[in-house]
Amino acid sequence: MKTLLIGATGATGSDLLKLLLDDDEVESVDIFVRRNTGVEHPKLTVHVINFEKPEEWSHLVKGDVLFSCLGTTRKDAGSKAAQWKVDYDYQYSFAKAARQNGVECYVLVSAMNASSKSLFFYSRIKGKLDEDVTNLGFPKLLIFKPPSLIRKESDRKMEKMGVKVIGFFNRLGLMKSLKPMSTDALAKKMLDDVRYHDKRSRNVQIK
């Protein structure tokens, strides 16, 4: 299996990268990043690119499956417009290139409450991307909508607080559908679904 990955330096992406490199069924891993990661492996090819210039890299998006774990926060991006570029524009450009180049399977990390009609900006971005990549017509499409994620060494204070609050209610038997999930568990689920599930297009909601 020849795999492609964007978002390899993020929490979920870095966990997925380790799994892909360690997996005997994975023949190659091509990652697309803004700066060199320093990671080296016989199966790994690192493409340092400008995400805003697809004409320079779209021909490289070739393989069996594209994993999209790219994402940011408004705080890190600096503005809504900058966040939209990362969370929608860059990912849609990659999905479009993959479809044009014959990539059979697209795997996307979305969000639990993703909806293009949401009042919340983040949920609206994710929902819009979900709809548009679905319309590209991949033979196999997996959209993961995880609950709160537990990220190793996270410095996102509100996220960490939210995980603790939901964890408290979980221990009381409440809000079970929102039970936090570790990024390595999500990464494993993504790879497992690609390997074992049939080839029908479908959306995956993690519960």
Between 121-134 and 91-100, two packed helices, what is the crossing angle to 10 degrees?
Answer: 10
Structure confidence at residue 75 (pLDDT)? 86
From its phi and psi, is residue 143 left (phi > 0), alpha (psi between -120 and 50) or beta? beta
pLDDT of 207 reads 40
At 146 the pLDDT is: 85
Q: Can you list the pairs that 79-85 forms with residues at least 24 positions away whose Cβ atoms lie under 8 Å?
A: 80/121, 83/121, 83/122, 83/125, 84/125, 85/51, 85/52
| pLDDT for the residue numbered 96 | 97
At 93, the amino acid letter reads S
List per-residue pLDDT tens for the chain, 207 residues long: 999 999 999 999 999 999 999 999 999 999 999 998 888 999 999 999 999 999 999 999 999 999 999 988 888 888 999 999 999 999 999 999 999 999 999 999 998 888 999 999 999 999 999 999 999 999 999 999 987 776 565 555 545 554 454 454 455 454 455 556 788 899 999 999 998 665 455 566 544
Q: What's the CA gap between 152 and 131, in Å, rounded?
A: 30
Q: Would you call 33 helix, strand, or coil by DSSP?
A: strand
How many residues are recorded in the chain?
207
Q: What is the pLDDT of residue 44?
A: 97
Q: How far apart are CA 146 and CA 112, in angstroms?
A: 5
Q: Which domains are seen in the chain, by residue range?
A: 2-148+183-196 (3.40.50.720)
How high is the pLDDT of residue 175?
46
116-142: burial string, b at 16+ Cβ within 10 Å, e else: eebeeebbbbbbbbbeebbeeebebbb
Question: Tokens at residue 41, please?
Answer: 């492996």
CB atoms under 10 Å from CB of 39, counted, come to 16
**Residue whose entry in the numeric block shows the structure tokens 């090819």:** 45
Sign of CA dihedral 200, 177, 191, 103: positive
